[in-house]
A and B are shown apart, each in its own frame.
Chain A
Amino acid sequence: MFCDAYTHYTEYELTLPNGDVADNRVFGLHRTYDGNPVGVGVGRLPSKTFVNFGEILPTAQLYDHVREVLTLQFPQLPYVIVTVREYGAIDPTGFGLRHEHKLRVDR
């Protein structure tokens, strides 16, 4: 357990037009990392996700992905707001929320 040595990660939160927070699994933006290398030593692969733990998705790629899911699966939603939280080293000694930004994705 904990044999990888990641130094940063990103979390995604999706907010619907009515203010509700959507399950990020539905948009494939959930975290599958549980401390063990994903898919190693297990009988089942975790559900598919667009996010590789330890990597930061480029904004354009994230935008295209969310828009595609929105168009194909949620035609009734005009837009969603994706909050991107990036955690990592914040100063020479500390660790925490390094950067947060919101992205509005229109269908």
Chain B
Amino acid sequence: MKYGWLRSWAGLTTPQFGQLCVWVLVYLALSWDFGGLPIPVGERVGPVTVVSFLPDVILESKQVFYLCKLLLFFGGACWVLQVGISVSPWLTAVSYIMLVSMAYYENSPQCSHAFNLVAILLIIHAGWYTFYRRQISQSVRDGVFFSRNVYPLWVFHISIFCIAIFHTYAGLSKIAASGTSWANGTSLQLWTQLFGRKDWLPNELILSHRKLAQTLQVLTLVIETGAVIAIFSKWLRYIVGVCLLTFYVGVILNFGFSFHLNAILVAIFFLPMLELNRELARTAAQNLRVTLTVRPPNLHKLLCALRPRVDLFSVAEISAFSQQLKTRSLNHSVERESSDNSLHNENS
């Protein structure tokens, strides 16, 4: 009991939730339109990212930027299909970090905090694949990936820790820069005036009611700074998750910032998705079975190879059309034979 938390961190479980997170992370990484490389203006300052040590000729290179885009797509596709798992997770993570750094930090006078969490979680999940690559590749080869205990719970807990710290740091940086008077109401009104959606009722209310603006700011400060308590218990995590999601919905609707990436990750890790996933896996294993009958032999082969990699709840069976016909005709002849025998017995 004393070391219950340690057991929970060190434990292993089936990888449905972990793999789902990998798919979501790769989707979030690939779906973002990075556009082109910004034309660098203004004096160079820094260092600001982990790739700041690279020379300007690389950081400002369009060729490197488009190569990273290509590597991100290639690495992401390989990771999702569990091909080359020693390399593909890191290829995805590193090329994503490089793209974000080049597009939003190194060459730009304006930064965006919408990509940090995706980058951090990509690293954590790439770490999972690196430390468990033997077990993962063996279970994939055996076609039993989703039923083997190859997902270490430290991946889940470290992800929660990083998301919580990320938000607490945001709250603390506000207090460090402006003190508790940050929540004065007027500053939120200013940002709403400057960046907010025009002619939208909640914004009109914020602009005309300072007490409302101040209340929202106090709540923001409390939720962000206090997010770290989510690491202590699952109920605290759910509460913080709901509060953070409400905050993100407000920010996205009001300002239109691209914080939906963070909101999705908070929803996955702070709401009871792991538990829901376990429940779904259990129910599906007991009650659900899907048989896919495929005629072309090549497609059958391909689906047979893909099934253990994408069949999250192990409910699908792939059977070849000819094989099914063969089985059916065999059953039919057995039935006929047995009915003939019974008729013969009755006659005799």
* Chain B, Cβ-Cβ closest to A43: B106
Residues of chain A with a CB closer than 8 A to B113's CB: 1
Task: Identify the stretch in B22-30, B138-146, B206-214, B282-290 within 8 Å (CB) of chain A at 4 or more residues.
Answer: B206-214
Task: Identify the stretch in B64-72, B185-193, B325-333, B334-342 within 8 Å (CB) of chain A at 4 or more residues.
Answer: B185-193
**Are A37's CB and B177's CB within 8 A?**
yes
Residues of chain A with a CB closer than 8 A to B45's CB: 39, 42-45
| A3 and B221 alpha carbons, distance in the complex (Å) | 10
User: Which residues 1-54 in A have Cβ within 8 Å of B in the complex?
Assistant: 1-9, 32, 34-37, 39, 41-47
- Chain B interface extent, by class: 35 or more
Q: Given A39-B45, A47-B41, A3–B105 Cβ distance below 8 Å? A: no
Residues of chain B with a CB closer than 8 A to A5's CB: 177-178, 181-182, 184, 186-187
Residues of chain B with a CB closer than 8 A to A2's CB: 174, 187, 191
Q: Given A41-B48, A47-B42, A95–B189 Cβ distance below 8 Å? A: yes
* Interchain nearest-CB distance for A31 vs B (Å): 8
- Any chain B CB within 8 A of the CB of A94? yes
| A93 and B209 alpha carbons, distance in the complex (Å) | 5
Residues of chain B with a CB closer than 8 A to A4's CB: 177-178, 187
**Are A94's CB and B208's CB within 8 A?**
yes
Number of A-B contacts (CB under 8 A): 108
Residues of chain B with a CB closer than 8 A to A44's CB: 40-45, 106-109
* Interchain nearest-CB distance for A63 vs B (Å): 26
**Are B109's CB and A42's CB within 8 A?**
yes
Residues of chain B with a CB closer than 8 A to A96's CB: 193, 207
In the complex, the 6 A-B pairs of residues with the closest C-beta atoms, listed nearest first: A95-B189, A46-B109, A43-B106, A5-B178, A3-B177, A44-B42
16 CB contacts below 8 A, A to B, read A1-B113, A2-B191, A6-B190, A7-B190, A34-B110, A39-B45, A42-B48, A43-B49, A44-B40, A44-B45, A44-B107, A93-B208, A93-B211, A94-B209, A95-B189, A96-B207
